[in-house]
Structure 1
Amino acid sequence: MKIIIIGGGIVGLSSAYFLQKEGHQVTVIDKSDISSGASFVNAGFLTPSHIIPMASPGKIAQGIKWMFDSSSPFYIRPRWDIDFFKWSWYFHRSSNRAKVEKAIPVIRDINLLSRDLFEDIKASGDLGDFQLERKGLLMLYKTEAAYEKEKKVADRLSSLGLEVADLDASELKKIEPDTEIDAKGAIHYICDGHTTPTELMPKLVAYLRRAGVDIKTNEEVLDLAVCNGQIAQVETSKGSYTADEIVLAAGSWSGILSKKLDISLPLQPGKGYRINVSRPTGISMPAILMEANMAVTPMRGFTRFAGTMEFSGINATIRKERVLAIAHGAKNYYPDLEITSEEIADARTGMRPVSPDGLPYIGKSKNIENLTFATGHAMMGWSLGPATGKLVSEIIHREKTSMDISAFAPGRRF
């Protein structure tokens, strides 16, 4: 089949990877040059441990509390936006214990599937060598309250068969001996892994081009023409295309393109920031600094400090106070670390597509016969890229999917 994938992030490229393996003629169209954005500035985590969706009890109250502090980890810029008001109401309706409990096993299963597929891709040799480590993830805490909160999650993970360890300060020092850490201890999610996105993404693009995938960059999809219940034509800033199947993997822009098809896809861009430190830090273990709500990843050639969730619409504005909050958070846990003004000035941002319930949209459109959605992964986009690509390939082939995807239905009610 001729297949067009709209979006060249990790989800779109992963979909192209599995579809071209099946012998299809695949074209990827992206509005950028595929060198920046959420797939490049994320923490690079593979996170079976992240079983709690973002829409969870207490999140709304926390968001309101932080709403007027532009340096807070979870910031909502006050604005008049009907789509955002609707999304917020759906988020509120999704933030209850029953829905969270229902989501937990689904999030675990898709994360484990994706983690295994990362391993398969590396073992295939298609992309050559790239960082893929299974050191786990440290949840560093300073307070007893943070520990007690995370311990409940850790106990739940253990009950689901995932590997978890509880480390006190002395055990933490043994596992991370080359840097000073100001923390009482850590929950160690041994089940997790990490990568370097800025290394993997160009390798994935290069492989796909060698394999015959047509990757069109700096080309924006402007419209989608529908005829007899199918997308008949994809109109871009440079031309028009036809295909048997269309995959919508446009990240935070997916909701805008869905509107052109008269499809409501509740989605909001959640902006994240990163600082790279390209000098020795002594940090060898990926970590989440719990009270600072930020991530730390030892990547190839640098250490990345990333975090924040900012709901301010689609924009590339870098708010300095948010970058400084990441730098201060890092210093608070790693007292010997000094992030320089140059490193702060080099901060970058990307927008993650967030659904109201924190689960991705993966599946066929109810209205458009040849349209498959692959978006809305929130903070798990990188982790879930390969699994989503595999599922998209199975959906298009009308095969039995590798897992139950009913929870990801694009037309689900909130």
Structure 2
Amino acid sequence: MSKKCVIIGGGIIGLSSAYYLQKAGHEVTVVDQGSMDSGASYVNAGYLTPSHIIPLAAPGVMQQGIKWMFSSKSPLYIKPRLNADFLKWTMAFNNSCSEKNVSKAIPAIRDINLLSRDLYSDIRAEEHFNFQLKKDGLLMMCKTEHMLEEEAHVLALANKEGLPARMLSAEEVQQKMPKADLDIKGAAFYECDHHTTPGEFMEELKTLLQAKGVQFVKNEKVTDFDTSSVTLSNVKTASGKTFVADEVILATGAWAGELNKKLGLKILMQAGKGYRINSETETGITLPSILCEAKVAVTPMNGFTRFAGTMEIAGINHNINKARVEAIAEAVPRYFNNVVISEQEKDEAQCGLRPVTPDGLPYIGRPSKWKNLTIAAGHAMMGWSLGPGTGLLVSEIIDGKKPSLDLGVYNPDRRF
């Protein structure tokens, strides 16, 4: 039976949900508070990364974050502030930085990444899209023996989970990128990873969805709902518009926390800001690479190279912190001797907000409080990787089908 589905949020998660819901025959409206052409879905590194099996909340991360708190250029910055939501999240994040959480998260992250990675290929073939989709793998580049040892440990875990990966010497990495002037000790190479140019996919997907009858409502902030005891019947915006809904999908990313309060949900979420610098200069970089010590991602996209990184948990804002942009720019020539990021490229840097849960796993599923609400948020740095997979799961939830994955680990009602 066709349902009226209102999706709040027009990023990769919202649009992926719209794609699978319209394929299932539902009437879909996407409401977004912005113009649907910027933010984390557009400025990310473009990775499809089954290799990223370790969640952000892992042993030692909180202690390292406290040390990095005093450096404006650190890869992870958590701004201390007297805010009840932030303090609850911080306590829950600290509790989640455990081996138990990592063990729980690894298979969950692997499975949804593999599902989503393959769905990108399926969508590209079925819809005759032309977006860049390269299946070249991912390099985890290391400048020190210590980091090589750490990456070798993660690689062993990945191999154990069935993910093809191997360690490479500096010479072997150089052979893979002969035009790059490298200064590294070696790298872990994950053959299972793919990469894309995000803006291309987003534009093709928006065009297709509109042609299929999906309605986009831009620059409208959802502020309220009409409710019965357990059902959301109407979605309301700040300008006074009302949308009738049989099903509501909350895919607002970093902004989910605000609507959670309106809905009486106790979901913990913080915004984690990331930055990107684009360069059209020839770099010789032909393979996606993460600069491990610096925590900077490098992606050869269609017509340019993208340098992205940092996790800045400092509330919801789009202020550009020049020091953090500079940290990305300074890291690159330490690994690539021939690459220098220009002042103009740094001045044109952009940022996006990723929604971060305390345990590093997204919320996907129905909260017990509302019968017709589905949460799809909290994907942190993996939002791009997990978009189509999450969209398919949302559609299966709404249609009452057996989900492609066990949703228990993503339960929005879980406690930390």
TM-score of the superposed pair, with normalisation by structure 1:
0.99
Q: CA deviation at 1:78?
A: 2.3
Gaps of 5+ in 2: none
- Pairing 1:114–2:116 present: yes
Q: Is the 8 A contact 1:226 1:261 kept in 2?
A: no
Matching residue of 1:142: 143
| Alignment counterpart, residue 353 of structure 1, candidates 352, 355, 358 | 355
Matching residue of 2:5: 3
Residues of 2 paired with 1:208 and 1:280: CA distance? 35
Matching residue of 2:38: 36
Q: Is the 8 A contact 1:7 1:250 kept in 2?
A: yes
- Pairing 1:102–2:88 present: no
Matching residue of 1:199: 200
Alignment of 1:318-397 (within 5 A): 318-397=320-399
Q: CA deviation at 1:228?
A: 2.4
Q: Is the 8 A contact 2:271 2:353 kept in 1?
A: yes
SS at match of 1:205: helix
Q: Is the 8 A contact 1:233 1:243 kept in 2?
A: yes
Aligned structure 1 segments of 4 or more residues deviating by more than 3 angstroms = none
Q: Is the 8 A contact 2:364 2:410 kept in 1?
A: yes
Matching residue of 1:411: 413
Residues of 1 paired with 2:53 and 2:164: CA distance? 13
Alignment of 1:59-208 (within 5 A): 59-126=61-128, 128-208=129-209
Q: CA deviation at 1:206?
A: 0.8
- Pairing 1:310–2:312 present: yes
Q: Is the 8 A contact 1:138 1:186 kept in 2?
A: yes
Residues of 2 paired with 1:165 and 1:144: CA distance? 16
Q: Is the 8 A contact 1:5 1:16 kept in 2?
A: yes
For 1:159, give the aligned amino acid.
Answer: K
Q: Is the 8 A contact 1:68 1:77 kept in 2?
A: no
Residues of 2 paired with 1:64 and 1:409: CA distance? 29
Residues of 1 paired with 2:157 and 2:65: CA distance? 25
Residues of 1 paired with 2:265 and 2:188: CA distance? 42
- Residue-pair matches, total: 413
Q: CA deviation at 1:125?
A: 2.4
Matching residue of 1:217: 218
SS at match of 1:295: strand
Alignment deviations for residues 82-104 of structure 1 (CA, whole Å, 9 cap, x no partner): 11110011011111101211111
My pick for the range that moved more, 229-238 or 359-368, is 229-238
Q: CA deviation at 1:160?
A: 1.4
Alignment identity in percent? 54
Q: CA deviation at 1:319?
A: 0.4
Gaps of 5+ in 1: none
TM-score of the superposed pair, with normalisation by structure 2:
0.98
Q: CA deviation at 1:374?
A: 0.2
For 1:292, give the aligned amino acid.
Answer: A
Q: Is the 8 A contact 1:391 1:401 kept in 2?
A: yes
SS at match of 1:138: strand
SS at match of 1:366: coil
Q: Is the 8 A contact 2:57 2:101 kept in 1?
A: no
Residues of 2 paired with 1:332 and 1:223: CA distance? 50
Q: CA deviation at 1:338?
A: 1.2
SS at match of 1:212: coil
SS at match of 2:312: strand
For 2:13, give the aligned amino acid.
Answer: V
Residues of 2 paired with 1:102 and 1:74: CA distance? 23
Residues of 2 paired with 1:272 and 1:188: CA distance? 24
Q: CA deviation at 1:143?
A: 0.5
Q: CA deviation at 1:279?
A: 2.4
